[in-house]
Chain A
Amino acid sequence: MICAKVYTPIDYLPIMIQSFVVLGFVVTTMIATHMLGPKRNTKQKLENFECGIEGMGNARSPFSVKYFVIAILFVLFDVEVIFLYPWAVNFKELGIQGFVGVVSFSALLLSGFGYLMLKGAFDWEK
């Protein structure tokens, strides 16, 4: 299928101009709130929030590696989803060939997925 109109970067100009308008709105609001609001800084006020006790240590500390694993799996699977979009647009023209293609693609994807599941990548605690 041939697209009726080929989009060039200039067609995205409306979105860019809108972003600038919004940027202007946010900046104006920030300036307004700076002028309206009080500025009384005390030592305690500039501390991090803690429920009535002294804050301890720095928040720049290591966190669970599981979040990192999730992020990597996301990159893998999100690329697959993006690959499926052009296929979906042209599916009606591709017919049976396209169907065989997507079944084999999904089968490969699901077997990899099954391997990950057996390896315990989706279990939070083992």
Chain B
Amino acid sequence: MDFNIYDFTSFTTWVHNALTSSMSPGWAMFVELAIVGVVFIAFYAVIGLYLVYAERKVCALIQNRKGPNRVGPFGLLQTIADLFKLLMKELIYIKNADKFLFNLAPFIVIIASFMAIAALPFAKGLHAIDLNIGIFYLFAVSSLGVIGILLAGWSSNSKYSLIGAIRSGAQVVSYELSVGLALLSIVIFSGSMQLSTIVESQANGWWIIKGHIPAIISFLIFLVASTAETNRGPFDLAEAESELTAGFHTEYSGIKFAFFFLAEYMNMFIVAAIAATVFLGGWMPFHIPGLDGMNHVMDYIPPFVWFMGKTAFIIFIMMWFKWTFPRLRIDQLLKLEWKYLLPLNLMNIVLIAFIVLMGWYIK
């Protein structure tokens, strides 16, 4: 076996060959995908739990507090303890709720975020599936979660939930346009929707640098729009706790509430990972042409670390947003999208098309 931390292609081929030699190809593929699924669940749980911990620590840092520090060293086991506590809690089925839809909503929310994670390239050769329409696929499945939110809000038969859900619906569909157009700008630059091709095209520099000012505008729009799309502060109107208790998941208890919570944090991870892949070079190391010494040092850092580092950076910015900006009103929120971001985005697309046509970007 040839395990190389810089290129997982040989490792995945080795696993594939080992499985096909011991069983029929159909079963081998099935077992392979099941293994990938289990690995993703473990990854999902760890990332989800530690993002909650990270958020509490970042919040504490910004509010000049200590944050969780009792359970385990530096409070590292706090969220795991919370998970077990939620697992032991009673599930309450309120009297007026639509039982079927009420139970279905957490499933949809979780599965939607899982479908998106399958297409992300974590390192060279390390992805569950490399679709030729990668970006388009991510754009499509990342918006499925809103169906779960709408179902949760409507089926609870509570006014808090309903208001939270319709706010969330209007917000997510509005900001989806900006997310789509911001990603489109990089598709114009790279000429491909396949995520591995987009990452390969950034070997000599990240698109945010190579694409000059229009790419930076796209990146900023993507950052704002994806924060809004994941229902995070300052756009967390769907669960504005001071006015709506908890918004669409007011009536959920126990592990179902935990699923909504986990999915929210995973969606944040997914949009940060998309931003890192598309704008910041994914798992590509940071290179400055000409400085060979530094480039070699950068090459020693494994691609997986680069990917997670960039993602963590964007997640930190999103947490910073949440704990420093006051929450918007619904009319301000929709005005920001429809009156400012969308026209700006469309003009930016035309500008990028012009720049690509004239070849005024680093190829």
Do B259 and A26 have beta carbons less than 8 Å apart?
Answer: yes
Find chain B residues with CB under 8 A from A78 CB. Answer: 173, 176-177, 180
Instruction: Check: A46 CB closer than 8 A to any chain B CB.
Output: yes
Interface pick from B267-275, B287-295, B302-310, B351-359:
B351-359
Q: Are the C-beta atoms of B184 and A59 separated by less than 8 Å?
A: no
Contact of A99 among B91, B129, B339, B357 (CB under 8 A): B357
B40 vs chain A, min Cβ distance (A): 7
Asked whether A18 and B169 contact (CB < 8 A) given A33-B254, A96-B357, the answer is: no
Which B residue sits closest to A85, measured CB to CB? B136
B128 interface contact, C-beta 8 A: yes
Does chain A have a CB within 8 A of B2?
Answer: no
Q: Is the CB of B94 within 8 A of A88?
A: no
A48 touches B91 (CB 8 A): no
**A60 pairs with B157, CB closer than 8 A:** yes
A9 close to chain B: CB less than 8 A: no
Query: B90 near A88 (CB under 8 angstroms)?
Result: no
Q: How far is the CA of A38 from the CA of B45 in the complex (A)?
A: 24
Are the C-beta atoms of A71 and B173 separated by less than 8 Å? yes
Q: Which of A59, A71, A82 contacts B158 (CB 8 A)?
A: A59
Residue-wise interface mask of A (88-118) relative to B, using a CB-CB cutoff of 8 A (1 in contact, 0 not): 1111100110110011001001100100010
Cross-interface CB contact of A77 among B90, B251, B342, cutoff 8 Å = B342
Q: How many residues of B contact A (CB 8 A)?
A: 79
Contacts of A73 in B (CB 8 A): 338
State in angstroms the CA–CA spacing of A61 and B177 once bound together: 29
Q: In the complex, what residues of A have CB within 8 A of residue B52's CB?
A: none
Interface membership of chain A positions 7-33, coded 1 if the CB is closer than 8 angstroms to chain B and 0 otherwise: 100011111011111110110011011
CB <8 Å contact, B90 and A40: yes
B159 touches A59 (CB 8 A): yes
Complexed CA–CA distance, A39 and B342 (Å): 50
Within 8 A of B (CB), among A35-49: 36-41, 45-49
Max chain B C-beta neighbours (<10 A), residue from A17, A47, A81, A106: A81
Indicate the member of A21, A30, A88, A91 with the most B CB atoms within 10 Å: A88
CB within 8 Å: A-B pair count? 199
Contact B184 A81, beta carbon cutoff 8 Å: yes
Out of A59, A77, A89, name the residue touching B193 (CB < 8 Å).
A89
Q: What residues of A have a CB within 8 angstroms of the CB of B259 in the complex?
A: 26
Judging by beta carbons under 8 Å apart, are B107 and A23 in contact? yes
Q: Contacts A17-B34, A25-B41, A67-B166 known; A106 to B346 CB distance under 8 Å? A: yes
Q: Which residues from 341 to 363 on chain B have a C-beta closer than 8 Å to any C-beta of chain A?
A: 342-343, 346-347, 349-350, 353-354, 356-357
A63 touches B166 (CB 8 A): yes
Q: How many angstroms from the CA of A71 to the CA of B91 in the assembled complex?
A: 33
Q: A29-B255, A49-B245, A60-B157 are in contact. Are A22 and B36 (CB under 8 A)?
A: no
Per the bound structure, the CA–CA distance linking A1 and B33 in Å amounts to 31
When A88-B188, A102-B349 are in contact, do A19 and B111 touch as well, CB less than 8 Å?
Answer: yes
A7-B131, A15-B129 known; 18 new pairs, CB 8 Å cut-off, are: A15-B115, A17-B37, A22-B41, A37-B87, A37-B88, A39-B90, A46-B92, A47-B94, A48-B251, A59-B96, A59-B161, A70-B170, A78-B180, A81-B181, A85-B193, A91-B356, A96-B357, A124-B331
**8 A-B pairs with least C-beta separation:** A21-B37, A124-B331, A74-B173, A88-B187, A17-B33, A81-B180, A122-B338, A46-B95
